[in-house]
Structures are given as C-alpha cells and as structure tokens.
Amino acid sequence: MLSTQNNAFVENLDIENLYDITGAIKIVENRLSSIVEECDDFIKVLLRKFLLSGKKIRPKLVLLSGLCFSAMNDEMINSAVVAEVIHTASLIHDDIIDKSDYRRNMPTVNSLLGNHAAVLAGDFLFAKAFEILSKNKLYKQMEYVVTAIQELCAGEMLQARDLFNIKVSEDHYFERISKKTASLLSACCKAGAQSSNASVDEIKKMGEYGIFIGYAFQIIDDLLDVMGKKEMIGKPLAQDIEQGNLTLPFIYLLQNPRIKDKYMTKLKDKTITKDIKLELINDLEQSGIITEVYQKATYFVQKAKEALDGIPDSVYKTMLMRLSDEVLYRTF
Amino acid sequence: MLSTQNNAFVENLDIENLYDITGAIKIVENRLSSIVEECDDFIKVLLRKFLLSGKKIRPKLVLLSGLCFSAMNDEMINSAVVAEVIHTASLIHDDIIDKSDYRRNMPTVNSLLGNHAAVLAGDFLFAKAFEILSKNKLYKQMEYVVTAIQELCAGEMLQARDLFNIKVSEDHYFERISKKTASLLSACCKAGAQSSNASVDEIKKMGEYGIFIGYAFQIIDDLLDVMGKKEMIGKPLAQDIEQGNLTLPFIYLLQNPRIKDKYMTKLKDKTITKDIKLELINDLEQSGIITEVYQKATYFVQKAKEALDGIPDSVYKTMLMRLSDEVLYRTF
C-alpha cells in the first residue's frame, strides 16, 4: 500500500528542482567530507560512505527552517552539518545497541569493524559536532543539540525497558518516539530558525513543527519496518519486532483482548521466532490497523502544517509543508 | 617493587589533610550524584556507583590548577564536574571496546547490562558534560574538552591498529598515550587555570604540566597492569597484553633481537595464550626493564614539575608537585 502511493507522489514531487537548496546541501556534503578526512584511517573508508549516504533530512530541515526567516548564512550551514553529524553518530551507536548488521543498504560499522570502531566512530563524530558548534559560537544551537542528545539516550533506554512488554501503552510509545526521534528533528528546526535570528515565538513554532513531523516520521518508519521492502528501506524487514520492540501497529493490534491473550504466552520467553513474527504480521495485515496507523501519521503531518500557521509565507515554508507530506509517502 | 615504595610514601603523604580541597571535592561529588538522579532508572543504580567511585584525579587537577591563580569559584567546580563526567563516559565506552568485565573493583556497565546500556550511559554522560559547559558558558573549557575527546578517540584507534604489532615503536607508544591519556589530563589543568582567569602563558604551562603527568600516569598504569595486584588495581592482571596491547615494558623487551625473534612466531596468530603471557611477564621480570620503565615515568614527573617553574608559588602549586610524585608511587 505504502509503496504504490509513494511512487506516484515522488514522480510528481521534486522539491529540490522547484526551489533550489541543492547548492547549500552540496556545501553541507563537502563539509561532511572534510570531517571524514580528519578522522583516523581505521574508520575513514567506512565513515566516508556512511556519513554521506543519508537522505539529509535533518540538514534540509535546518536549512529550510532558517530560510523561512533570512537569506542563507554560514550559521545555517554549520548547524545543518552538525545535525547530520549528530544523527549519524547516533545511528552508529544505535547499531551497536540493536546489534544491526545492515543500514542504508550497506553493512553497519559494528558489523564490519566491530563494536570497538563503532563506539569510537560515534564518539569522534559527537565531539566533532561540538567542535563545530563551539568554534562557531553557535551556543543557542548547542543547547538544542545537548537537550536532543539527552532525550535521544532517554528514548533509547525507554525502548530498551519496554522490549517484549506486551502491555506497553500508546502514551508510552509516544513518549518514546518523542525522545528518540522527534526531539532531534525539533532541535534541527529550532537551530535553523535560531541561525536566522527568528523571534523566540517563531523558534518555538518551528520546534513544534519539528516535533510533529518527528512523530509522523517515526510512525511511518515503524510501518515500513513491517510493510516495506528490504531493498527500499535498506535494512532487514520486521527487525523491530524481532528484537521485541513493539511499535504502534503492534500496540494497536494487542489492544484486541483475543490477540493479546494469544501472544501473552508466546512472548513470555522474550524470543520472537520467525513463525511468531510471520503470525504477528499476518494478524496485523488482516486487522485494518495499518490504515489506522497511517491515519495517525497523517494527523501529525496536519498538526505540523498548522504549527507553521504564524510563520511568514515563503517558498521555503511551502517546501517545509511539502516535506511533511513527503514523510507520509516515503518508502525508505 | 612498586607496592613497597608506595606504602611507605602514602603513609607520609596525605595531601588532602595538609591543604584542604576535600570540601570542594565533596561539592563535585554532590553534583555528580545529582547528574545520576536525572538519568533513566535503567542505568541509574549502576551509574551511581560508577560515577562516584573514581579517584577524582581529574577534578583534583582542575581544582588545584585553578587555585594556583585565584580563590575557589563556581567555574572551577563545574569544570571539575565535567572532567569526571567525561572521564567516566570514556571509561564506560572503553570497557565496551576492551570487552572488559571489571573496573574500579566492580563489574563494568557492559558486563552487567550489555553493550546497549553502556553505549547509552556513555552518550548520556557526554551530553551532560556539554550541557554543564554550555549552560555555564564555559566556552574556552569546552574547546579544551572537545579537543581532548577527539584525541582520546584517535588514541584508542591508534591502539586498536597497533594490537599485536611486535614492531610498534617507542615513539608510536608516546603518540598513543599522549592522545589516549595525557590530552584529557592536560585539558583538565588548562580548564582549571582558565576558570581562574590565568594568563595565556600560564594556561599553556599548566597544559604542559598535564601532558607530562599524563605520560607518567599512563606509564605507571601500564607497569601496574603487569606488576600490580588485582585487588589493588581493580581489574584483572595483564589484561593489556592479553588483548595484544604492547605497552612500554614490552616495547623495551622486544627491542632485544633474541626476544623479538622468539615472540615473532608466537604472536603471529594474534592470540596471546596464558602460557605466552606468563612467559612474557617472566622475561620482563628478568630483563631489568621494569626499572628502566619506572625511570622513564620519573623523568616525566620531573618534566611536569619543571613546567610549573613560572607559576607563582602557593600551597596549591606544592600540591600539584606532590600529586605528580604520587603518580609514581600509586598502586592502583
């Protein structure tokens, strides 16, 4: 369902040709390349691919949020670089946490060079991000980033505690994804706005926009984990559920007492076999919950757009609105 | 040899009763406790023990370096807290890297809760340190810390690349320990001096002092790894060599062509069995190299003291001199 909708949409939508921020993204990419060059040979080759292969959603959010209030400036570029560096560092550490072997359609740092290199590569990138913030005196942006990283860790810990917990509530899920995903996206939007001297109120609104697309983004991510295709999402299917991470589709599914009873015993050993996984996905497909979850994501995209209400109209504001739509139609 | 020297010395040396910084250290400890309380329950209990159980060498260096130039102030306290937080974060990540089960006479975070919790606990602490620096506008101290963390990562990577490399040179060893250990100690001393508005030249001198005691500290650490007692050093004996980490005693030992030839074949499989380990330690004990290495550490303590030459005389300067002597006589 998701992929057909998406393909049609993507063909009609080519944001970066409509309004050009490709030049700025290119600068961000060049800066990312220089960071890799400063790094030890031990992880350089791998980091080169990994740091540059992302979809650059966070840098785009920084830049577009900034461009809503002023012309492009170096603060925006630096904040955009920091956003991608922090995100990549957290992914590299995340892959140790999840014992993941595959990400962005390539082997993870930990699977190729061991946890060792992955811990160090992540730490190096975190330090690099703070170096950029500190050298360029981006102190307010640093506050946003520091809060986001702490939330990110807290979100990951919440997730760890909730593994295989069949009683996990919807509220708990939202608390988790707010910390794990939305907080960094929100920090990106605030950092962008801050870089163009937006008002306190405008920065707050951009932060809200970030939170809401963060929710939508993670909900779709969780849907893709069960419904996507490996070659599209760049990592194995239903990895979350295999690790006991009960995402929104499963939380809704387990609200059905009959289903809950059925899995209560099956999940008590904290092991999800291939059979249980396929059964869960099958139950999910037959439940109509996919649509319900998708509607929840749509709701948050709407809320994200509403958060932009008080922001002056501009092509960049329109791009942010479209970017939030794109979240709904992405396949990876 | 080390332990007898040490015991005699420690009885005569009780720095903190002579000149009292225990009050300030107590404040640092209270702040560290508050940090633990803000952290997720998942790792709280463990982190409480771990963050508070260290010898607080880095906070002491910050405070004493600051007190050389002004009365105690909040900048010094905050910098001291940051120093211990960064150090603990790096140890927690280090234990993942080394697959260590034991540190500070207690099980490591990774051995009790897995790599997962250890990665997050470290990241949380790094973010916390930057939050303190950023909230208190300790921007210059932040620069020192950022550089030190990057060096630390680079040092760990160098070490990883040198594992089981029988040809590793003394120069390479010093480059490695400069990055891995001395850079953070140096940053501590500079951060302390910076917090009391010392001059650029004074800060530079304190940084040099930190580098030199860093060398001495790591050399003694490496000696203790082979010569110490488990209950004293709080971790298993000869762990370094077991992991293929050839420290200064072994670098000197392997400069003997006969010894080098003997181990060339034995180490080619990159496995150090218990037998090889005992044989290496035995060869080391018979070589007289322990004394040679110890003299090297003594040389760097002397250099550290010389670095303090231009610093105004004070009880705190005396304490720093004594602290550098203490490095030589420590047993843990």
> Quick one: which of B185, B133, B125 has its CA closest to B155?
B185
Check residue A15 and give its pLDDT: 44
**Sign of torsion over alpha carbons B282, B287, B291, B292:** negative
DSSP tag of B263: H
A36-86 pLDDT, tens digit each: 998 877 778 778 878 888 889 999 999 999 999 999 999 999 999 999 999
Contacts 24+ apart (CB under 8 A), B90-94: B90/A123, B90/B122, B90/B149, B90/B152, B90/B184, B92/B50, B92/B118, B92/B121, B92/B122, B92/B125, B93/A119, B93/A120, B93/A123, B93/B118, B93/B119, B93/B122, B94/B156
**Is A25 in contact with A79 (CB distance < 8 Å)?**
no
B147-165 pLDDT, tens digit each: 999 999 999 888 888 888 8
Chain A residue numbers with beta carbons less than 8 Å from the beta carbon of B96 are 96, 115-116, 119
Which tokens sit at B24? 């300030």
CB atoms inside a 10 Å sphere around CB A238: 18
Distance between CA atoms of residues A45 and B120, nearest Å = 25
Which pLDDT band holds residue B12 (cuts at 50, 70, 90)? very low
Check residue B235 and give its pLDDT: 55
Chain A residue numbers with beta carbons less than 8 Å from the beta carbon of B126 are 123, 126, 149
Helices and strands per DSSP (H, E), number in chain B:
18, 2
Which pLDDT band holds residue B73 (cuts at 50, 70, 90)? very high
- Residue B11 pLDDT > 80, yes or no? no
Is the CB of A160 less than 8 angstroms away from the CB of B127? no
Check residue A135 and give its pLDDT: 94
- Average pLDDT of chain A is 85
What mean pLDDT do residues A175-198 have? 97
Q: Tell me the residue type at A96.
A: I
Is the CB of A153 less than 8 angstroms away from the CB of B96? no
Interface probe, candidates A38, A47, A112, A119, chain B, greatest B C-beta count within 10 A: A119
Check residue A46 and give its pLDDT: 72
Chain B residue numbers with beta carbons less than 8 Å from the beta carbon of A147 are 131
Which pLDDT band holds residue B9 (cuts at 50, 70, 90)? very low
Give residue A32's Cα distance to chain centre.
Answer: 19
Is the CB of A96 less than 8 angstroms away from the CB of B116? yes
Chain B residue at shortest CA distance from A39: B154
Total residues belonging to chain A: 332
Report if residue A291 sits inside a domain.
yes
Chain B residue at shortest CA distance from A142: B134
Report if residue A1 sits inside a domain.
no
Distances (CA, A) of A236 to A106, A229, B93: 11, 8, 27
- Residue A12 pLDDT > 90, yes or no? no
- Residue A301 pLDDT > 60, yes or no? yes
H/E run at residue B211: helix B200-227
Q: Tell me the residue type at A17.
A: N
Q: How many CB pairs under 8 A join A and B?
A: 116
Beta pairing partners, A107: A102
Give residue B33's Cα distance to chain centre.
Answer: 21
- Residue A18 pLDDT > 50, yes or no? no
Check residue B94 and give its pLDDT: 84
Residues 6+ apart with CB under 8 A from B329: B2, B5, B6, B9, B10, B13
Report if residue B1 sits inside a domain.
no
Is the CB of B130 less than 8 angstroms away from the CB of A130? yes
- Looking at the complex, report in whole angstroms how far the Cα of residue B131 sits from the nearest Cα belonging to chain A: 6
What mean pLDDT do residues A157-169 have? 86
Chain B residue numbers with beta carbons less than 8 Å from the beta carbon of A43 are 157
- Residue A183 pLDDT > 50, yes or no? yes
Give me the residue from B135, B143, B156 closest to A120, CB to CB. B156
- Residue B17 pLDDT > 50, yes or no? no
- Residue A107 pLDDT > 70, yes or no? no
Report if residue A289 sits inside a domain.
yes
Report, in angstroms and rounded to the nearest whole number, the Rg of chain A calculated over CA atoms.
20
Distance between CA atoms of residues B320 and B304, nearest Å = 9
- Residue B83 pLDDT > 90, yes or no? yes
Q: Specify the higher pLDDT residue, A218 or A275.
A: A218
Chain A residue numbers with beta carbons less than 8 Å from the beta carbon of B153 are 40, 120, 123-124, 127
- Looking at the complex, report in whole angstroms how far the Cα of residue B165 sits from the nearest Cα belonging to chain A: 15
- Residue A8 pLDDT > 50, yes or no? no
Is the CB of A123 less than 8 angstroms away from the CB of B149? yes
Which tokens sit at B58? 């880095």
Check residue B113 and give its pLDDT: 64
Is the CB of A116 less than 8 angstroms away from the CB of B147? no
Check residue B3 and give its pLDDT: 40
Q: How many CA atoms lie within 13 A of B56 on its CB side?
A: 21
CA angle B232, B234, B235 (to 5 degrees): 120
Is the CB of A161 less than 8 angstroms away from the CB of B42? yes
H/E run at residue B102: strand B102-103
Which pLDDT band holds residue B127 (cuts at 50, 70, 90)? very high
Chain B residues whose C-beta sits inside 8 Å of any chain A C-beta: 40-43, 90, 93, 96-97, 115-117, 119-120, 122-124, 126-128, 130-131, 134-135, 137, 139, 142-143, 146-147, 149-150, 152-154, 156-158, 160-161
Which pLDDT band holds residue A4 (cuts at 50, 70, 90)? very low
Check residue A265 and give its pLDDT: 80
Report if residue B155 sits inside a domain.
yes
Give residue B302's Cα distance to chain centre.
Answer: 18
| DSSP alpha helix (H) spans, A163-288 | 170-177, 183-195, 200-227, 230-233, 239-242, 248-253, 257-266, 274-287
DSSP tag of A312: P
Q: Which domain holds residue B227?
A: 19-329
Q: Specify the higher pLDDT residue, A307 or B111.
A: A307
CB atoms inside a 10 Å sphere around CB A74: 11
- Looking at the complex, report in whole angstroms how far the Cα of residue A119 sits from the nearest Cα belonging to chain B: 7
Distance between CA atoms of residues A210 and A216, nearest Å = 10
A241-276 pLDDT, tens digit each: 888 888 999 999 999 999 988 888 877 777 788 888
- Residue B278 pLDDT > 60, yes or no? yes
Which pLDDT band holds residue B53 (cuts at 50, 70, 90)? confident
What mean pLDDT do residues B114-126 have? 86
Check residue B110 and give its pLDDT: 64
- Looking at the complex, report in whole angstroms how far the Cα of residue B258 sits from the nearest Cα belonging to chain A: 32
What mean pLDDT do residues B191-206 have? 97
H/E run at residue B106: strand B106-107
- Residue B38 pLDDT > 90, yes or no? no
Report if residue A8 sits inside a domain.
no
**Sign of torsion over alpha carbons A288, A294, A300, A305:** negative
Is the CB of B160 less than 8 angstroms away from the CB of A116? yes
Tell me the ipTM for this assembly.
Answer: 0.85
B208-242 pLDDT, tens digit each: 999 999 999 999 999 988 886 554 545 556 778 88
- Residue A239 pLDDT > 90, yes or no? no
Chain B residue at shortest CA distance from A151: B124
Give residue A300's Cα distance to chain centre.
Answer: 15
- Number of domains forming the structure of chain B: 1
Is the CB of B96 less than 8 angstroms away from the CB of A115? yes
Give me the residue from A41, A131, A137 closest to B150, CB to CB. A131
Give me the residue from B42, B127, B157 closest to A42, CB to CB. B157
What mean pLDDT do residues A282-299 have? 92
Interface probe, candidates B90, B140, B156, chain A, greatest A C-beta count within 10 A: B156
Report if residue A7 sits inside a domain.
no
B130-141 pLDDT, tens digit each: 999 999 999 999
Percent of chain B that is helix, strand, coil (3-state, to 5): 75, 0, 20
**Is B156 in contact with A120 (CB distance < 8 Å)?**
yes
Check residue A155 and give its pLDDT: 92
Residue B64's domain is classified under what CATH number?
1.10.600.10
Which tokens sit at A191? 């950092």
Distance between CA atoms of residues B175 and B162, nearest Å = 12
- Residue B15 pLDDT > 50, yes or no? no
H/E run at residue B103: strand B102-103
Which tokens sit at B60? 């002491």
A58-71 pLDDT, tens digit each: 999 999 999 999 99
- Average pLDDT of chain B is 85
What mean pLDDT do residues B102-125 have? 74
Give me the residue from B142, B143, B160 closest to A42, CB to CB. B160
Check residue B270 and give its pLDDT: 76
Contacts 24+ apart (CB under 8 A), A8-16: A9/A325, A9/A326, A9/A329, A10/A329, A13/A322, A13/A325, A13/A326, A13/A329, A15/A319, A15/A322, A15/A323, A15/A326
Distance between CA atoms of residues A4 and A94, nearest Å = 30
Chain B residue numbers with beta carbons less than 8 Å from the beta carbon of A122 are 119, 123
Is the CB of A127 less than 8 angstroms away from the CB of B117? no
- Residue A110 pLDDT > 70, yes or no? no
Torsion of CA B26, B28, B31, B32, to 10 degrees: -100
Report if residue B167 sits inside a domain.
yes
